[in-house]
Structure 1
């Protein structure tokens, strides 16, 4: 199993080039990232999740993984919201709560999963990732919206998110054993790549508007602690408990550990942009955690694999 830093150079350079492309587009073409954030939330993300579900063939075991990660992410976000709401500004606390339940499992984590895991392990990783994505656009979106909107307004915004209906529709088709024609599935293949490209470009577009006043050391430090201290510890404990309770495959163990060490989610910026809650601060925190990822991921995974007996 190759955990050398060199194995991460390709994914990192790809992601950073997308961020740079977004910065350049905003600087030279004067593009507004807000319509792109709306496009991601209401169109590209639902089609991406729908295609992943239909390709993966959801089974009860796979969906149990999705449910478990969704519950874990939601609980972590609720705990962080309770802890931070009296220590940070209302919008900063909402953004911290959202980011604490998610990570860059798709844009950054998936390329690494493809390097480290066999096909079965990648499938397990994808259904874990799906639980995180569903959290982002349900509980996470609600907690973020509460930083600016009332309970009623927040619930209305969630009810309008098509990703929820795309998920339920995919489950219905699977339960009825209805398959999507190959031509239609092939036409959906463009959405995952578009999701990755635009999601990372939004970070660069937002950074192009950042001023020095947007830097918040306390906020960035909190984001680093949540992403690179809390999540690795929680996932390490989860794997150790699962190993103690039941036989756990090395593929699933590594998939879970990888979920715990990816940088902050680019969707932090997408949701902050859509809701108008401190997107510049979110973009800076995402950039810092992404730059640290190639140094920390090999170190963390090596240590965690040793502690779980998989190294």
Structure 2
């Protein structure tokens, strides 16, 4: 199975790295500034992508409970890491590390893998897990990142301005009132998920195009890798084993939770860092390294965790 998973990951990996390469070329040859693109992603493309996914998913109380659990878990991890990192790293670095610790590349990278490994019902479960992580990114995660440069009041003001939370509430309202979003609107928004992936990965390349050797911070990168490929797989394993001990956990849900725990660092680490101006170069290097390591780590971890949890 490990070899099959490695082959499965090559497609998404090369696609994402090609987007990163396009971003690098755009920064080096065209001198494109990635900051307006980050703003566009945060304030327009991400909310519409999130709204569309939630409406299409048909939220139910059980699905939303799954979203809430992942949101709380991501927030808890980030808060703990923030409390530890602020004594060992500079404010901007500790804020970025805290943000990255609560999230992963569950969408751009994890979704293609989920489509291969999971049945349709399992993919739906995985998507609602992803929604919880995304909601964390643009609430608690964004606040922790903003605290690297701004006061509490300024950071909260920035959270209130974020439209993704309102997109989430609008989708829940439309579902609760059984309002049908016009087909033309949904078809028009179909371009946003691909745009989100393309621009999100290109920003990494654009940022790397401005990186110098002195930006290579091995201590920071090591902490990012340890959290993403050390802490999160362990959390996923404990969560699945714990649920199996008390509930009849379906294999599809168990595998969806394990997949959330083994994906590389999120591209949104760079997007948010760029928007807030908190060490985006260091974030881009860490994201690139964990993405390159994914074809090695993910098959190994998934094979091992599936054996330990008895998933077949």
Q: Tell me which interval the TM-score lies in, with the shorter structure as reference length.
A: over 0.9
Alignment of 1:138-153 (within 5 A): 138-153=139-154
Name the counterpart of 2:117: 116
Mapped partners of 1:248, 1:61: distance in 2: 13
Please say if 1:84 is aligned against 2:85.
Answer: yes
Alignment of 1:214-293 (within 5 A): 214-293=215-294
Name the counterpart of 2:196: 195
Name the counterpart of 2:14: 13
Gaps in structure 2 of 5+ consecutive residues: none
Alignment of 1:201-216 (within 5 A): 201-216=202-217
Mapped partners of 2:14, 2:116: distance in 1: 15
Cα distance per residue 1:21-53 (max 9 Å; x no partner): 110111111100000000000000000000001
Name the counterpart of 2:135: 134
Alignment of 1:91-106 (within 5 A): 91-106=92-107
Deviation at 1:4, TM superposition (A): 2.9
Mapped partners of 1:140, 1:55: distance in 2: 25
Mapped partners of 1:179, 1:117: distance in 2: 28
Mapped partners of 1:4, 1:78: distance in 2: 33
Alignment of 1:46-57 (within 5 A): 46-57=47-58
Cα distance per residue 1:263-296 (max 9 Å; x no partner): 0000000000000000000000000000000110
The structure 1 segments of at least 4 consecutive aligned residues displaced by more than 6 Å after TM superposition are none
Mapped partners of 2:161, 2:122: distance in 1: 33
Deviation at 1:65, TM superposition (A): 0.4
Give the count of matched residue pairs. 311
Deviation at 1:173, TM superposition (A): 0.7
Q: Secondary structure at the match of 1:259?
A: helix
Name the counterpart of 1:302: 303
Mapped partners of 1:4, 1:180: distance in 2: 37
Name the counterpart of 1:75: 76
Name the counterpart of 1:39: 40
Mapped partners of 2:7, 2:265: distance in 1: 21
